[in-house]
Chains A and B, each alone.
Chain A
């Protein structure tokens, strides 16, 4: 029998897994920051050039039409076939090395660790290839859906081999991915459109979230508060990323997160086609229509695609409103974690709990998520790191790495999920009804606020901003 890898010292150092996740996330973010250098421009007065030494190391697959092999070939260097394969190998190596401490902490044997990791990585790569098909991409069916599907296909047909079961660590991968996501939640993005953007995103969104959750609990009497919260958040904030962040914050079951993501992506693909056509058909002011779409269509990419149908300005407004809404994810995840800690502890007694108990129950990884957001929003700029350098850190390294972590997490979720468990939610009408009612409510409120802000109060100001 292979020797067990578990080292007691690691568990002693990190009694709670979340602390290890935060440390790993901090190390990745720190290293990615150190690998970026700002060099003076070629001539005096020119903007400094940003050099990212890690650029291109984490694989991002290409869009393809009919030949999936094209996912591995960049059009820029078409003469050199399969040039994404080296970065794919590096990505697997980086992920494999990054997750070793997690494997040690969980006491996973080396053979099980590497076998499981390779299976997850292979299926994750396949999910990215499926998501890169141009029609799939066009309708915003994100990789997480295909990662889940591949996992489900295996677990519900041939079954999951015992050797890889210890590596089904989806929850840990999600937490680590969320700490990296924190670096993308930049508070300076809030002022991109001034007051109209903030009002449309930051007033309507929390109102819709809280009222939909309340409706689900009090009127629909949803069986699972965590499913109610995940659906309310993904519908009102920003789709998949919000579902993942709030799902982890309120410790939702993997089937609940998967279900919420499934209905969100389904309705996103419908809304991104229907909503811009409705704006055109109704003769609505395009700026108002764009802000409305930015506030209501769940997924970020879908918002940009829907806005593009209305024109360049509309695309800018729609995606900027969505970006401002995206930033809300940090505050929402923290608020949900805090609320859940107090309202839905492990012991659902109605007794008041002390600060010590609150701290014990609080999902600590949320602190890492928030700390990363604050560091990249305020600390790094104060230390002289330019916004171009921060953009490069996230765009070229942390964002693709975070995507891989989420992808592997959803492969693991699929491999752990039985169709029957997921089917339970499909049969029950309440979650779908909650989504539909919440989305309708969101559309009404967002339209009213978009009209008031972009059509009445700040109509001229918005036109001035766009003209610049």
Chain B
């Protein structure tokens, strides 16, 4: 049962990361925002200002 739960959790994570998220990225509004961040070289996942390119 414990291994079943673990493998189930791994399957859910794999499904979300390998199927759901790539499809969300294809929505025009999401794509536009992703492209804007790419153009401006913005690291939206930065935890601290030293990870933001603009402040270097």
Question: Would A391 and B56 be within 8 Å (CB), given that A157-B3, A308-B42 are in contact?
Answer: yes
A300-B51 in contact (CB<8A): yes
Give the complex CA separation of A184 and B25 in angstroms.
Answer: 33
Q: A133-B17, A305-B37, A315-B40 are in contact. Are A240 and B55 (CB under 8 A)?
A: no
**B42 and A135 contact, CB distance less than 8 A:** no
How many B residues, CB 8 Å from partner?
A: 33
Q: Which residues of A contact B24 (CB under 8 A)?
A: 135
Q: A66-B22, A157-B3 are in contact. Are A139 and B44 (CB under 8 A)?
A: yes
Interface residue A216 (Cβ < 8 Å from any Cβ of B): no
Tell me whether A138 and B47 are in contact in the complex, defined as CB-CB below 8 angstroms, given that A153-B9, A157-B3, A308-B40 are known contacts: no
Q: Is the interface of A mostly helix, strand, loop or mixed?
A: helix
Chain B stretch 1-41: residues in CB contact (< 8 A) with chain A: 2-3, 5-6, 9-10, 13, 17-18, 21-22, 24-25, 30, 33-34, 36-37, 40
* The one of A137, A239, A312 that contacts B44, using a Cβ cutoff of 8 Å: A137
B44 and A305 contact, CB distance less than 8 A: yes
Among the listed B3, B9, B21, B54, which residue makes an inter-chain contact with A304, where contact means beta carbons less than 8 Å apart?
A: B54
- Contact in complex: A68, B45 (CB < 8 Å): no
Query: In the bound complex, do residue A299 and residue B50 qualify as a contact, i.e. CB atoms below 8 Å apart?
Result: no
| CB <8 Å contact, A66 and B54 | no
Looking at the assembled complex, report how far the CB atom of B28 sits from the nearest CB atom of chain A, in whole angstroms: 14
- How far, in Å, is A438 (CB) from chain B's closest CB? 20
The answer to whether B2 touches A157, judged by C-beta atoms less than 8 angstroms apart, is: yes
Q: Which residue of B lies closest to A312 (CB)?
A: B40
Residues on A with C-beta less than 8 A from B55 are 189, 319-320, 323
Nearest opposing residue in chain B for A326, CB measure = B49
A interface, size bucket: 35 or more
Measured between beta carbons, the chain B residues less than 8 angstroms from A399 are 48, 50-51
Known contacts A68-B18, A133-B21, A134-B25; decide if A316 and B42 are in contact (CB<8 Å): no
Within the assembled complex, what's the spacing in Å between the Cα atoms of A304 and B10?
32
Residues of B contacting A305 in the complex (Cβ-Cβ under 8 angstroms): 33, 37, 42, 44
In A379-399, the 8 Å CB interface with B consists of 391, 394-395, 399
Could you list which residues of chain B lie within 8 angstroms of chain A, going by C-beta atoms? 2-3, 5-6, 9-10, 13, 17-18, 21-22, 24-25, 30, 33-34, 36-37, 40, 42-52, 54-56
